[in-house]
């Protein structure tokens, strides 16, 4: 069995807009930037669920 070849991780680029960031992550894999083998579990005990709407003010959620 052979070990996987380690490659240098890339820096996460700075984005001018959220749309630019979405397009980037749609085309790239996070393993190019993060070493997931070093990830640790996190606990968020104070996180609360939300039921906030994401439709624009005055907009309709019906289609």
Instruction: In whole angstroms, give the CA distance from residue 55 to residue 57.
Output: 7
pLDDT digits (tens, 9 = 90+) for 7-23: 788 899 999 999 999 99
What is this structure's pTM?
Answer: 0.50
Q: List all residues 6 or more positions away from 9 whose beta carbon is below 8 Å from its beta carbon.
A: 32, 33, 34, 35
Instruction: In whole angstroms, give the CA distance from residue 42 to residue 48.
Output: 15
Provide the CA 40 distance to its chain's centre, in angstroms: 16
User: If you average pLDDT over residues 31-50, what whole number do you get?
Assistant: 89
Bigger pLDDT: 3 vs 35: 35
Residue 36 φ/ψ, nearest 5 degrees: -65, -15
């Amino acid at each position: 069995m052979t070990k996987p070849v380690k490659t240098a991780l890339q820096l996460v680029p700075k984005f001018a807009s959220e749309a630019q960031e979405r397009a980037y992550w749609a085309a790239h894999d996070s393993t190019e930037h993060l070493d997931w083998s070093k990830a640790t579990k996190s606990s968020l005990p104070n996180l609360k669920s939300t039921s906030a709407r994401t439709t624009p003010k005055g907009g309709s959620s019906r289609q």
